[in-house]
Amino acid sequence: MARRTVVSMPGDGIGKIVLPEAIRVLDAVGFEADYVPADIGWEFWITEGNPLPDRTVDLLARHGLGLFGAITSKPKNEAGAELAPHLRDRGLVYYSPIVGLRQRFNLDISIRPCRSLPGNPLNFIRRNAAGGWEEPIVDAVIFRQNTEGLYGGVEWTDPPPDVRAAFETHPKFKRFADTPGPDLAISSRIFTRRACARITRAAFEYAARHGYPSVTVCEKPNVLRETSGMMEEEARKASADFPDIKLWSTNIDAQMMWLTKNPEDYSVIVAGNMFGDIVSDAFAGLVGGLGFACSANIGDEVAVFEPTHGSAPKYADLSPSIVNPIAMILTAAMLLDHVGELDRADAVRNATAAVVSEGEVRAYDMLRLPGGPDVLSKGAATTTQITDAIIRKLV
């Protein structure tokens, strides 16, 4: 295949550590690409008042492929306080740049695989009927609608008069009628039929392509009748074209209970933005936690790949680094899938699985140690050592 150009966005904290490790693995597996560094994250919020500079947006628009590390986000007041003095009192408001990228390029389909790797000591286990223990195989892939819902950003504190007047036309708003504006905050949950149709069909297509037996809509239609109801309606339409794949429906609260009782029953799950975020983190907890959680953000023209962990600033300055790079490396494998390098993607996943299974090289989280510089003396591997072990399995 032709040589690719990938926009490299380390971001904040440990993103600057794990992303180069993933690129080392991509190089080792023979993926031919040029990596263009791009500015994104907290330091650009502080110095420029914009964590997602236009120059980075332009690079992604030009090349269509991005690899992203991690981002720091803080509440509104804290973010404003950290701005450079000359940028304060200008009405600047911090928005997560990864959310901004999703909306700017309509990266509306988020794919988050949560698969247990044999030998991972962090895998979910449960008691069996005989009083012993068993370890179910977890293989769930969450399709999260990525641009709408509660993360759409349409919200107010002290809503403008016309907004408040619109809400007051709804009879259920009467209980808030006497609440003063400064004491009233509103966040909207907006679903569109087009987006619901796209994400549910993408989930069924993925299930059919990879041999999964079911697609589960995980929403709350008994309470959120309009928005969750629309997602369920579009899932039923998509289901008609895939008669061999079962369509299930769960409420998000019940799903949180069932996933720790019978997680092996679930395969492809589709949800709106907030519930997709929740259920993907919950399933990630069954397969090792955020150190193993990868994801893709897919649009028509641009795709950005990121681990789902945060920037973990308290670990960013440790030398040598102790953070687990596996989520970032598995994210790189998803990038390979996207560009059609399927054999190389499988090679990366197989090499990672082999290192985890052998158990000779483990990050501190896999040893259930609290993070800190002393973990190396207790048998934990450094970030570089884990990557080295995976690369050796590629040869």
| Token pair recorded at residue 6 | 């990938």
Are the C-beta atoms of 29 and 348 separated by less than 8 Å? yes
pTM for this one? Answer: 0.95
Express each pLDDT in 110-165 by its tens digit: 999 999 999 999 999 999 999 999 999 999 999 999 999 999 989 999 999 999 99
Express each pLDDT in 51-69 by its tens digit: 999 999 999 999 999 999 9
The Cα 338–Cα 111 span in angstroms is 11
- Does residue 1 register a pLDDT over 80? no
Q: Which of 339, 330, 282, 275 is nearest to 307 (CA)?
A: 330
Spatial neighbors of 115 by CB under 8 A, at least 6 apart, are: 138, 139, 140, 287
Partners of 370 in the β-ladder: none
For each of the domains in the chain, give its residue range(s) and CATH number, in order of start.
1-110+301-395 (3.40.718.10), 124-152+191-286 (3.40.718.10), 154-187 (no CATH)
Can you give the pLDDT at residue 395?
A: 72
- Does residue 75 register a pLDDT over 90? no
Can you give the pLDDT at residue 2?
A: 77
Express each pLDDT in 229-245 by its tens digit: 999 999 999 999 999 99
The Cα 393–Cα 381 span in angstroms is 16
- CA distances 173 to 169, 222, 384, 394, Å, are 8, 19, 56, 60
Q: Which of 73, 8, 31 is nearest to 340 (CA)?
A: 31
